[in-house]
A and B are shown apart, each in its own frame.
Chain A
Amino acid sequence: MPVNALPMDLRDFLRVAPAVLLSAWGLVVVAADLARYRRRDAESRRLAVGRLTLIGVGLALASAVALFGIDSLAQSDAPRLDRLLGESFASYFSRPDGLIFFGTLASGLPTDVLNVLFLTLLGLVVWTSTAYAFTDDLGEYFALLLWATVGMMLLAASEELATLFIALETMTICLYLASAFEKSKPRSAEAGLKYFIYGSVSSALFLYGLSFVYGLTGTTYFDAIGRVLGRGGHEGLAGNLVGGAALLLMLVGFGFKVAAVPFHMWAPDVYEGAPAPVSAWIATGSKVASFVVMLKVFLHALGPWSNPSNELMGPGWLGVVVVLAAATMTYGNLAALAQRNYKRMLAYSSIAHAGYILVGVAAASVSTAGPEAAGAVLYYLVVYAFANVGAFAVAAWLARDRDGDAIADLDGLARTSPALAVCIVVLMLSLIGVPPFAGFFGKLAIFMEALRQGPSGTRIVLAWLVALGLFNSVVSAFYYVRVLKAMYLREAPSVGGLQRAKSAIAVPIVVATVVVTACGIVPSPLMDLMRAIARPMLTATTLDATAVTDATPAAGATARPRPVAWTTPSRPE
């Protein structure tokens, strides 16, 4: 199917400025480390390279914020943009479709917001990385972090399967390497190897699934796939063996990336073995990007296969995702109960959180709020990511001072660093989902979207899924409280306890605390923003699509034009 995209527009590179900047800056960091800092002593070299990396992240963040400003101006006040940028750029930026590079990448507000998120988190992770010495290859380490982030940003922006796969591999290959960077620890090498082997197998399966999709639909563009599949009517996947196989293979790929049961095996070992900042980046950045693209693929491209017959176990992916979600959150929480190791506990907790988010993915496909329902998932991802960056900064603290990562290493922290202990309490509470912290609103938003459905066959099952999710949060309280117990109810060891946290550890913890508290007490702004970007994110149409949608008669009495992917055919009476 020919895609009538505009000819390549060089201005498109402006819109991926953050990614371009970061890619280049990775080289700068490597070169600078080689040329200037190598002869310094370990401590000052680490700080210097870290600072240099942060400058790059700052520049990229500035460009992302600038793009965000331009894009929001293009939507709200176009004449002003005209005056600021001149007519040709202004009209370029206010193009309605928001796709660049022949429609392979999305740009516009959703991408900008996600880029800002990734870069802020990256800044915190880089800062945490300067906290302690776990590797001598600093330039390479920081460059890999940057390039992994480039992968994440492109992954979250991708609108086409091949781009998706390339970005995914860019991200994960960098992370494979980074997780094996603590050469003095065999566990780190084990983590890297394990992550690599599991990851490459699942990537292969994923790619195989993508090829099936291409074979079935003749296109790799999400929107086009959605339109082709949408013609299938309510039969959906019924009798479509290839389609079913494609779906399952893609689920394996995504399941691996987001650590959903039963593809989670790698997560605890990798999180425990990898250096704390790398674990943080795997648990947050990689997960956020994977979930964003999973939302795009499953809701936009494969939306018509969600539950075409309006039954849970009908021919569609909804039932599978529901089962995955239930298994993931239950298994993650129960397994976390047994953990005494802080990083391993966080690993299982992040598996559990993946389960909650999968509930959100399932919910978004059937919620009557349409694509905006995915805003709940995005909100959850933001909150989850910040809380985890803070939590892993604590792991870096443990690694620095105790050379360990047991929960018991936190003993007596409330006495020695009362302020940070309070911050950690807030982070744990947010992860449990106790109001008024943001984790609660994230969970609640997801669960409410799961319940916000018209009368359908899936309603009762999703209600039970929500009930299961709520009980899971009670179970999770038990192991998060263990952290609080260690900090508040145990005495600090007389020698060799945790020292004062320097800014590299304190800042991520404090920033994360501020974010989860602020977004908890005043959840509306972030929630509104996420809901606002969810729609364009999931409805970006390739350029030839307009004509098709216009030609389709509006189904029923729906007032607002719905994206093709959402016109789930109603059940035949």
Chain B
Amino acid sequence: MSDYLLLTSLWLVPLIGAGVVLCVPKGSERLVKYVATGFTAAGLLLALVALAIYVGDDRANAPLAERAAAIRVVSWPASEAMGAGDVDGNLVIRRDWIPAFNIQYYLGLDGISVSLLVLTGLVSLLACLASWGIEKQVRGYYALFLLLVASMTGVFLALDLFLFYVFFEVMLLPMYFLIAVWGGEEREYAAIKFLLYTLFGSVFILVAILILYFWPGDAPAGGFQAGTFDVVALTTIASTTGYYGRWIQDWVFVLFLVGFLVKLPSFPFHTWLPDAHVQAPTPISMILAGVLLKVGGYGLIRLAWPLAPAGAFDWSYVVAALGVFSILYGALAAMAQTDFKKLVAYSSISHMGYVTLGMAAMNLAGGSGYYAYGVNGAMYMMLAHGVTSAAMFFLVGVIYDRAHTRDLDSLGGLNDAMPVYGAMSYVIFFGSMGLPGLCGFVAEIFVVLAAFHYSVTLGVLAAAAVVLTAGYILWTIQRVFLGRNETWKDLPDLTAREIVIAAPLVVLTVLMGVFPQPLVLRWMSPSVDRVVQGVAEGSARNAAGPMAESRDAGPPQVARAR
């Protein structure tokens, strides 16, 4: 399969699915569900194919910059045969899209994006299965759902800042409608809050993108001229030259940071999340927590840090402190909730704090080794949280379907009535808590290690938060599952469909805890390490002043390729 076909169909297949779903005649709701599930399953399959190629093929897992440099940009529609400029099998494609502004249709995969792509495929398939209970306007629901999946996939694929932004914005609308039409009682408020927060955040991102595009340059960079949206080229420029000086990088970083922290979310931009989660229907909560929040994290690791390494370095303490504060704040807020779903939502904020902290723990003294721990931990946290939080929201939805309440104080004793449900929940909750042997632990230990190396105070606080996490998780387990409660003793246990949805996540929680290296890190961390390397190089160079690049021999590789 050529790259062109593979990478395009990754986002196009769900989009076609959305169209097909709309064409299904009225009255055949079951067919709609089968079709939608089929298309999401195909999406997951394609993601797995991409992963297999990435892991198995040396052409594909070479550094992104090398692969991108090997490609000649072809104008579109090309007079030559399709794919003329591509090197086949390296998982990068680029075409001209809007030549007037040098905007390209530029997709590519590396370890970071392919891992999140598989996560997207998995969570959306499970969420699609979890949507079978939706009765209201089924066609509209699935069409929007598939549109959402398509745009999320596109975000992880895009290597052109502009294309990234387009996919990023397209995500908003289906999400808005999915919350506003199929949500709970306060759905309109939650939906508009989500929409406005995210739109507001994306303006910051757009401003940062435009600054990068128009910056005239502080120091010569081997013939490089701005006026490109090419993420890979810009990353290389930012890490190997002083073209983007320290002052402008500070600005670019802050703009990206604010934009993506809204999406992540982190304190102080988090307030849309509890509302959106509580009001969203269960499958949408799964998507929201499992994938959508990762878009924020992906933006940080792909754009904010690599494109403005010196800025990131200057701001690192603030950001790290923000991360620690989010961890503590999220955990404390979670502890205070009586609504099960809101509790899980706040736990998401707490966990996303680890992502911020892991990225920001930039102690570069003595090499970037410890910093690489932090970023790997942040990436791993995104995957682990994607698995556990999707599962947690699903489990909350299960109990809400049966008991029609999410009030923690009125639940209790569910373990007696629903033993399978209880067992699965324990694994997931402990995984989220970070119990050694489960997925959350790997992430947390990496992040906390890096944090200790960065600042002992922050490290201690982040480590102490583990106690808080354990506190609210265990307390929740106690309030929901343990004890005796006559009210719920007749609740049926999980159905086969529900087990099918929960089981993969439970299995992954365990596997990712036991075999982090062979399962994920083996192919993911080279890419992460390359990002770390670039960031470390760039921040060191620009900290030394823009003229530091003159020590370098030769122009950067990507600039030469252009």
Q: How far is the CA of A418 from the CA of B166 in the complex (A)?
A: 25
CB neighbours of B165 from chain A (8 A): 435
Q: Residue A451 at the B interface, CB < 8 A?
A: yes
Q: Return the CB mask of B374-417 against A: 1 if under 8 Å, else 0.
A: 00000000000000000000000000000000000000000000
Q: Return the CB mask of B208-238 against A: 1 if under 8 Å, else 0.
A: 0010011010000000000000000000000
Interface residues of B in 166-183 (CB under 8 A from A): 166, 169-170, 172-173, 176-177, 180-181
User: What distance in Å separates the Cβ of B254 from its nearest Cβ neighbour in chain A?
Assistant: 13
Interface residues of B in 89-113 (CB under 8 A from A): 97-101
CB neighbours of A484 from chain B (8 A): 177
Q: Residue A470 at the B interface, CB < 8 A?
A: yes
Given contacts A434-B169, A466-B210, A523-B98, contact A488 B203 (CB under 8 A): no
Residues A481 and B100 in contact, CB atoms below 8 Å apart:
no
Interface residues of A in 451-474 (CB under 8 A from B): 451-452, 455, 466-467, 470-471, 473-474
Residues A524 and B180 in contact, CB atoms below 8 Å apart:
no
Residues A474 and B196 in contact, CB atoms below 8 Å apart:
yes
Across the two chains, which residue of chain A brings its CB closest to B188?
Answer: A489
Given contacts A451-B214, A485-B188, A489-B181, contact A429 B100 (CB under 8 A): no
CB neighbours of A434 from chain B (8 A): 169-170, 172-173
Given contacts A448-B101, A485-B180, A488-B180, contact A470 B207 (CB under 8 A): yes
CB neighbours of A435 from chain B (8 A): 165-166, 169-170
Residues B200 and A474 in contact, CB atoms below 8 Å apart:
yes
Main secondary structure of the interface of B (DSSP, over half): helix
Residues A436 and B203 in contact, CB atoms below 8 Å apart:
no
CB neighbours of A467 from chain B (8 A): 207
Given contacts A435-B170, A485-B188, contact A477 B195 (CB under 8 A): yes
Q: Residue B540 at the A interface, CB < 8 A?
A: no
CB neighbours of A447 from chain B (8 A): 210
Residues A527 and B203 in contact, CB atoms below 8 Å apart:
no
Q: How far is the CA of A419 from the CA of B180 in the complex (A)?
A: 19
Q: How far is the CA of A447 from the CA of B195 in the complex (A)?
A: 23
CB neighbours of B176 from chain A (8 A): 481
CB neighbours of A481 from chain B (8 A): 176, 192, 195
CB neighbours of A452 from chain B (8 A): 214
Residues B210 and A451 in contact, CB atoms below 8 Å apart:
yes
Across the two chains, which residue of chain B brings its CB closest to A473?
Answer: B203
| Residue from A436, A455, A489 in contact with B166 in the complex, judged by beta carbons closer than 8 Å | A436
Q: How far is the CA of A440 from the CA of B166 in the complex (A)?
A: 9
| Residue from A418, A470, A478, A531 in contact with B206 in the complex, judged by beta carbons closer than 8 Å | A470
User: What distance in Å separates the Cβ of B219 from its nearest Cβ neighbour in chain A?
Assistant: 15
User: What distance in Å separates the Cβ of A435 from its nearest Cβ neighbour in chain B?
Assistant: 4
Residues B199 and A477 in contact, CB atoms below 8 Å apart:
yes
Residues B177 and A524 in contact, CB atoms below 8 Å apart:
no
| Residue from B169, B173, B180 in contact with A489 in the complex, judged by beta carbons closer than 8 Å | B180
Q: Return the CB mask of A137-149 against B: 1 if under 8 Å, else 0.
A: 0000000000000
CB neighbours of A444 from chain B (8 A): 101
CB neighbours of A440 from chain B (8 A): 166, 169
User: What distance in Å separates the Cβ of B366 from its nearest Cβ neighbour in chain A?
Assistant: 40
Residues B170 and A436 in contact, CB atoms below 8 Å apart:
yes
Interface size class of A (residues with CB under 8 A): 20 to 34
Q: How far is the CA of A459 from the CA of B329 in the complex (A)?
A: 41
Residues B100 and A531 in contact, CB atoms below 8 Å apart:
yes
Given contacts A523-B98, A528-B100, contact A488 B177 (CB under 8 A): yes
Q: Return the CB mask of A200-240 against B: 1 if under 8 Å, else 0.
A: 00000000000000000000000000000000000000000
CB neighbours of A488 from chain B (8 A): 177, 180-181
CB neighbours of A528 from chain B (8 A): 100
Q: How far is the CA of A472 from the CA of B207 in the complex (A)?
A: 13
CB neighbours of B100 from chain A (8 A): 445, 524, 527-528, 531
Q: How far is the CA of A445 from the CA of B180 in the complex (A)?
A: 32
Q: Return the CB mask of B191-204 against A: 1 if under 8 Å, else 0.
A: 01001100110010
Residues B170 and A471 in contact, CB atoms below 8 Å apart:
no
Q: How far is the CA of A382 from the CA of B97 in the complex (A)?
A: 20
Q: How far is the CA of A553 from the CA of B33 in the complex (A)?
A: 72
Residues A429 and B173 in contact, CB atoms below 8 Å apart:
yes
Across the two chains, which residue of chain B brings its CB closest to A414?
Answer: B140
Residues B98 and A474 in contact, CB atoms below 8 Å apart:
no
Q: How far is the CA of A452 from the CA of B166 in the complex (A)?
A: 21
Q: How far is the CA of A447 from the CA of B214 in the complex (A)?
A: 11
Q: How far is the CA of A451 from the CA of B206 in the complex (A)?
A: 13
Residues A471 and B172 in contact, CB atoms below 8 Å apart:
no
Across the two chains, which residue of chain A brings its CB closest to B200?
Answer: A474
Across the two chains, which residue of chain B brings its CB closest to A476?
Answer: B199
Q: Return the CB mask of A419-442 against B: 1 if under 8 Å, else 0.
A: 000000100010000111000110
Across the two chains, which residue of chain A brings its CB closest to B216?
Answer: A455
CB neighbours of A445 from chain B (8 A): 100-101
Across the two chains, which residue of chain A brings its CB closest to B166?
Answer: A435
User: What distance in Å separates the Cβ of A391 from its nearest Cβ neighbour in chain B?
Assistant: 18
Given contacts A429-B173, A488-B180, contact A524 B203 (CB under 8 A): no
CB neighbours of B214 from chain A (8 A): 448, 451-452
Interface residues of B in 499-541 (CB under 8 A from A): none
Q: How far is the CA of A478 from the CA of B197 in the complex (A)?
A: 11
Residues B172 and A478 in contact, CB atoms below 8 Å apart:
no
Q: How far is the CA of A447 from the CA of B177 in the complex (A)?
A: 29
Q: How far is the CA of A477 from the CA of B101 in the complex (A)?
A: 26
User: What distance in Å separates the Cβ of B509 from its nearest Cβ neighbour in chain A?
Assistant: 36
Across the two chains, which residue of chain A brings its CB closest to B215?
Answer: A451
User: What distance in Å separates the Cβ of B194 from its nearest Cβ neighbour in chain A?
Assistant: 11
Q: Return the CB mask of B40-80 against A: 1 if under 8 Å, else 0.
A: 00000000000000000000000000000000000000000
Q: Return the CB mask of A23-63 against B: 1 if under 8 Å, else 0.
A: 00000000000000000000000000000000000000000
Q: How far is the CA of A474 from the CA of B206 in the complex (A)?
A: 12
CB neighbours of A477 from chain B (8 A): 195-196, 199
CB neighbours of B199 from chain A (8 A): 473-474, 477
Across the two chains, which residue of chain B brings its CB closest to A490?
Answer: B188
CB neighbours of B216 from chain A (8 A): 455
CB neighbours of B97 from chain A (8 A): 524
Q: How far is the CA of A429 from the CA of B195 in the complex (A)?
A: 13
Residues A474 and B180 in contact, CB atoms below 8 Å apart:
no
Interface residues of A in 295-343 (CB under 8 A from B): none
Between A478, A488, A524, the greatest number of chain B beta carbons within 10 A of the residue's beta carbon is seen for A524
User: What distance in Å separates the Cβ of A530 from its nearest Cβ neighbour in chain B?
Assistant: 10
User: What distance in Å separates the Cβ of A457 from its nearest Cβ neighbour in chain B?
Assistant: 15
Q: How far is the CA of A470 from the CA of B180 in the complex (A)?
A: 25
A-B contact pairs, 14 of them (CB 8 A): A435-B170, A436-B170, A440-B166, A444-B101, A445-B100, A445-B101, A448-B101, A455-B216, A466-B207, A467-B207, A478-B196, A481-B195, A485-B192, A528-B100
Other A-B pairs beyond A429-B173, A477-B199, A488-B181, 6, CB < 8 Å: A441-B98, A444-B101, A473-B199, A474-B199, A481-B195, A523-B98
Q: Give the top 8 A-B pairs by smallest Cβ distance, nearest first.
A: A435-B166, A451-B214, A470-B203, A474-B199, A435-B169, A474-B200, A527-B100, A524-B98
- B residues sitting closer than 8 Å to A (CB atoms) are 97-101, 140, 165-166, 169-170, 172-173, 176-177, 180-181, 187-188, 192, 195-196, 199-200, 203, 206-207, 210, 213-214, 216
